Copies of this chain bind each other. A is one copy, B any other.
Amino acid sequence: MEKFEINILGCGSALPTTKHNLSSQVVSFRDKLHMIDCGEGSQLQFRKLKLNFNRLTNIFISHLHGDHCFGLPGFISTLGLLGRTSDLHIFAQPDAEKVFRPLLDYFCKGLAYSVIFHSFDPFKHQLIYEDRGLQVFTIPLKHRVPTAGFLFVEKPKALHINRESCDFFQVPISQYGNIKAGNDFITSNGEVIPNHRLTNKPQTPRRYAYCSDTAYEEKIVPIIQGVDLLYHEATFLHSDLVRAKETFHSSSIEAASIAKKAEVGQLILGHFSARYPNEKVLLEEAQSVFPNTILSSETKSFVL
């Protein structure tokens, strides 16, 4: 099975601490790395995890709060120093280019590669990136500023030929393309062999959803329905719900409720506030609603 892995570079909120770095993750799919958010210090975390800078293709920025994007100028500058020549694509809201381009023009003159901004509408659920094996969709979230989460979807694979069965019905190899495309087979004496007898179903496409920062937002449930893995922010304990609502963040109970409604495979909590010295309390609270919940932590990785 092809690699589909999530590496947590930072899962703290607002203030970096000795325990948690600022928001950043890397989705490793096939030969490419896709970064989600890039808080200050992300380049160092990337290095600590021994991720390959050359494999990084895209950076997706959820929203324009400093703790999710202040690592960009340093990261871009470092890629230049490391000799990068291939384009770097940044997917973000239109303002991102407006605020960062002047800084890059001043500090990163003469880069041997291009930084290409692709802007998206954070209020729409839409496809914003696609390659041979992967699609990335936005997930409109509910925060103090326009914010979008990201849904990473593996593209469906072709059906697998059941060799034994095809041999039995004497399917010529020239017909394998048709069979893989889902067609039935008609034998020389006119008998129709239904496709499902000639093929094995491919593995169900894997899906990962990143939802941070956001208040409780049921509208995302249909978008993330049944994903294998959901990273959902849980900045506060439910006892601090008033503060969560004020700041458009979620409690861990709320994160777990979304996971339950969306019937996801597993929930990872993140975007931890420094006010809780031990996140176990957040975990226990969430598990009371959605048992298959775990805590994110720096340098942890999750394989789908």
Contacts and interface: CB of A to CB of B under 8 A. Distances in A.
A65 B107 contact: yes
B78 A74 contact: no
B74 A66 contact: yes
B78 A15 contact: yes
Contacts of A16: 43-44, 47, 74, 78
Looking at chain A's contact residues, the main secondary structure is: helix
Interface stretch (A98-106, A195-203, A222-230): A98-106
A70 B66 contact: no
Nearest to A103: B99
Contact of A106 (B64, B67, B77, B107): B64
Interface in A36-61: 40-41, 43-44, 47-48
A81 interface: yes
Contacts of A40: 40-41, 43-44, 71, 74
Contacts of A77: 66-67, 70
Contacts of A66: 73-74, 77, 107-108
A95 interface: yes
Interface of A: 14-18, 40-41, 43-44, 47-48, 64-67, 70-71, 73-74, 77-78, 81-82, 95, 99, 102-103, 106-108
7 A-B pairs with the lowest CB-CB distances in the bound complex, closest first: A40-B74, A66-B77, A70-B74, A66-B107, A16-B44, A99-B106, A41-B41
A146 to B, nearest CB: 13
Contacts of A95: 106
A251 B297 CA distance: 41
Nearest to A21: B44
Contacts of A74: 16, 40, 66-67, 70
Nearest to A18: B48
A40 to B, nearest CB: 4
A103 to B, nearest CB: 6
A76 B247 CA distance: 20
A103 B153 CA distance: 34
A151 to B, nearest CB: 26
Between A16, A40, A43, the greatest number of chain B beta carbons within 10 A of the residue's beta carbon is seen for: A40
Given A15-B82, A64-B106, A99-B106, 20 more contacts: A16-B43, A16-B44, A16-B74, A16-B78, A17-B44, A18-B44, A40-B40, A40-B44, A40-B71, A40-B74, A66-B74, A66-B77, A66-B107, A66-B108, A67-B74, A67-B77, A70-B77, A95-B106, A99-B102, A103-B103
A14 B73 contact: no
14 contacts: A15-B78, A15-B81, A16-B44, A16-B47, A16-B74, A18-B47, A41-B41, A41-B44, A66-B107, A66-B108, A67-B74, A70-B74, A99-B107, A102-B102
